[in-house]
A = this chain, B = another copy of it.
Amino acid sequence: MEKIKVGILGATGAVGQRFIQLLENHPWFQITELVASETSAGLPYQKICQWKLNKPIPEDARHLVVKNITSELACQILFSGLDATVATDIEMNYAKAGFPVISNARNFRLEKDVPLLIPEVNPDHLQLIKKQKANRQFSTGFIVTNPNCATVPLAMMLAPLHKKYAVEKVLVTTMQAISGAGYPGLPSLDIMDNVIPFINGEEEKIESETKKILGELVKGEIVFAQFDVSAMVHRVPVFDGHLLSVSIKLKKKGEIPEIKNVLASFGSVPQKLNLPSAPKNPIIVKNENDRPQIRLDRDAGNGMSIVVGRIRPCPVFDVKMSVLGHNTIRGAAGAAILNAELLKMSGFFS
């Protein structure tokens, strides 16, 4: 089988680097184009990229000549790791030009005709693409987004609970890794020996995106889920991995062992289709009383599983627990790649 040629928008940024790393030896996709705004066309990637991952640049990407957004691109789909400050126009233009754009940027996530996709949770939301193409007069192009890095583990954990018990209220406190802020991101003087109780716009994203993802598709439109979410976010001095402390009120009541079982047995379309980046267990439930821990558990399922633990009754609501997800894998580049895999298997790349 010939591989699908893919391009990376924002190839030198933090998310772009993860795309390149995770697509190394991908069975279906092959990187043929790297696009970066800040560079003059014509230089090989390794010359212009300040590579920050601890494995070296994959061989095939190392020598690719970087292009800019005015160049012709020899690829079929685009992954976007663009910064939100520039993503709106660039992504829209590529979609208009016929490219499926699988984006990690926040810009189109809440648009009515754009899927905000977690393949295990809301694969049916891909039906919005048809509407999107019609609305916007796209031919073969379209935009599909993945959620914010802290929203992903929250929405994945809530999905099976909402289905079985109907979620009524959610209070979530996050402890988020520095890699979530990109590079250069947080000055070391600001975050070492410190916790910062603020990330600009993050609480709003978590509160709104979660309800879209868990919303229902009714007559071609998404009706947001009807529960209340309150998020309090923090930056903590860890490298990768967002840990969430969540307390939930449910409409129907469930016992703790049953809730654990509902989470641990969660699996969906990506697992059934055996998508290359799908983890065997989307949700791993730990029973040790001091897990999940960020450093020890963030790489579970190659960073594509979320890890849940300390599931116990809450004196105020019904159940509380800790939830962990790898922010630059399941919460960014890995999420987008899994989205692309589902799109391919669903026939959206024609």
Contact = CB atoms under 8 A, between A and B. Distances in A.
A31 interface: no
A55 interface: yes
A195 B243 contact: yes
Contacts of A187: 183-188
B232 A193 contact: no
A310 interface: yes
Interface stretch (A106-114, A125-133, A291-299, A333-341): A291-299
A254 interface: no
B234 A237 contact: no
A296 B190 CA distance: 9
A65 to B, nearest CB: 21
Contact of A188 (B14, B178, B297): B178
Given A54-B295, A56-B300, A188 B195 contact: no
Contacts of A178: 188-189, 192
Contact of A175 (B175, B191, B198, B293): B175
Interface string A77-121: 000000000000000000000000000000000000000000000
Contact of A193 (B14, B239, B243): B239
A275 to B, nearest CB: 22
Contacts of A295: 54, 192-194
A170 interface: yes
A169 interface: yes
Given A54-B299, A188-B185, A247-B171, A196 B290 contact: yes
A226 to B, nearest CB: 13
Contacts of A294: 193-195
Interface string A53-65: 0111000000000
B230 A315 contact: yes
Nearest to A298: B54
Contact of A229 (B175, B229, B296, B316): B316
A197 interface: yes
Contacts of A196: 290, 293
Contact of A293 (B194, B228, B309): B194
B175 A195 contact: yes
22 contacts: A14-B189, A54-B295, A55-B299, A56-B300, A169-B316, A170-B316, A171-B317, A184-B187, A184-B189, A184-B190, A189-B239, A193-B237, A194-B294, A194-B296, A195-B243, A197-B309, A197-B310, A198-B290, A228-B316, A229-B315, A230-B317, A232-B247
Interface of A: 14, 52, 54-56, 169-171, 173, 175, 178-179, 183-198, 207, 228-230, 232, 234, 236-239, 243, 245, 247, 289-300, 309-310, 314-317, 320, 322
The 3 A-B pairs with the shortest beta carbon distances in the complex, nearest first, are A184-B187, A173-B173, A198-B290
